[in-house]
Amino acid sequence: MVPLAAKRKKGLVIVESPAKAKKIGGYLGDEYIVRASVGHVRDLPAKAADIPAKFKKEPW
């Protein structure tokens, strides 16, 4: 039997700076993954098909 906690997916929180990511990650704990964008996130596509062709071959 797999424990319930092992079945849960972690939430992702994206903040602007690494310092904010560290601080917020400390508050949220292990249930969340907190990462820094190191800049502004302006417009995210709703689905992968909406990504412009010129960016599809870019490494992630």
Q: Is residue 16 part of a domain?
A: yes
Cα separation, 18 vs 41, in Å, equals 14
**pLDDT for res 1:** 55
Q: Is residue 49 part of a domain?
A: no
> Quick one: 34 exposed, middle or buried, by C-beta within 10 A (0-12, 13-18, 19+)?
buried
Q: Is residue 19 part of a domain?
A: yes
Q: Is residue 18 part of a domain?
A: yes
Domain span holding position 20? 8-39
Q: Is residue 25 part of a domain?
A: yes
Over the stretch 1-57, which tens digit does the pLDDT of each residue have?
556 556 678 999 999 999 999 999 999 999 999 999 998 887 778 888 888 888 888
Total domains in the chain come to 1
Q: Is residue 13 part of a domain?
A: yes
**pLDDT for res 6:** 62
Predicted TM-score (pTM) of this structure? 0.58
Q: Is residue 29 part of a domain?
A: yes
Q: Is residue 24 part of a domain?
A: yes
